[in-house]
Amino acid sequence: MEQARRVISVIVLNEASVLSRIAGLFSGRGYNIESLTVAPIPDSKYSRITIVTAGSIKVVEQIIKQLHKLIPVLKVYEHADLVEKEMAMVKIPLSESLSDIEALAHAYNGRIVNVGSDTLIVMVADEPMRVGHFLEAIKRFHPKEIVRSGSVAMER
């Protein structure tokens, strides 16, 4: 069956243990989570969890139903038409060319956000695929550390 990348948003009650219920549902069935982000929704008692996973339509349908079944889950969406963004930060030795790095980051909606005594930190925010491209390109500047945030998504 066709294994496609899926982005699922889950609106949950903001309470202890809710994340483990969600994660447990995936792990207990052997479904993989590619990325997961979670943060409270402002002025409400809910949080939004964005999960990127892979699977056939049938598997994802089943995941969505099982997510719905969890008591603290309010809504589950599988996104079809969405705007998806991800952020990444990269630590680079100061010996590299600052202007080259700045130019590269700029192409991916980013910039240098911190300069320390021997390293700098550059961040970008873009579509996950483009963040991947950026991380490929940044390799030539000998990155010491890379952090990706995981996807956040919004229906168009």
Partner 1 sequence: MQISGAQMVIEALIAEEVEVIFGYPGGAIMNVYDAIYQQSSFQHVLTRHEQAAVHAAEGYAKASGKVGVAMITSGPGFTNAITGIADAYMDSIPLVVISGQVPMSLIGTDAFQEIDAVGISRPCTKHNYLVTDAKDLARILKEAFYLARTGRPGPVHVDIPKDVTAQIASFDYSKEVELETYKPTVKGNMRQIKKAVEAIANAKRPLLYLGGGVISSGAAELVREFVQMTQIPAVETFMARGTLHHADPLLISMLGMHGSYAANMAMSETDLVIGLGARFDDRVTGKLSEFAKNAQIIHVDIDPASISKLVNAHFPIVGDVKNVVESMMVLAKEQVDPLRYGPWHNTIAHFNKLHPLSYTEEGDRLKPQWVVERIGQLLGDDANISTDVGQHQMWTAQFYPFSRPRQWNSSGGLGTMGYGFPAAIGVKRADMERVSVNITGDGSILMNIQELMTAVEYKLPVINVILNNNFLGMVRQWQTMFYDKRHSQTDLSIQPDFVKLAESFGGVGYRVTTKEEFDAALKDAVEKNVVAIIDVVVARFENVLPMVPAGGSLFNMMLEYKDK
Which of 69, 65, 63, 78 is closest to 27 using CA atoms? 63
Q: Which of 4, 39, 40, 61 binds partner 1 (CB under 8 A)?
A: 61
In the complex, least distance from residue 28 CB atom to partner 1, rounded to whole angstroms = 5
How far is residue 138's CA from residue 24's CA, in Å, rounded to a whole number?
35
Q: Token digits for 155?
A: 């229906």
Q: Which is nearer to partner 1, 71 or 80 (CB)?
A: 71
Q: Residue from 5, 20, 32, 142 that binds partner 1 (CB under 8 A)?
A: 20
Does 68 interact with partner 1 (rule: CB under 8 A)? yes
In this structure, which amino acid lies at residue 42? P
> Token pair 């705007």 is at which residue?
83
| Closest CB 23 distance from partner 1, rounded Å | 10
Phi, psi (5° rounding) for residue 61? -60, -45
Q: Is 74 in the site for partner 1 (CB under 8 A)?
A: yes
Distance of CA 30 to the CA centre of its chain: 20
Count the site residues for partner 1 by CB under 8 A. Answer: 18
Chain residues binding partner 1 by CB under 8 A are: 12-13, 16-17, 20-21, 24, 28, 61-62, 65-66, 68-69, 71-74
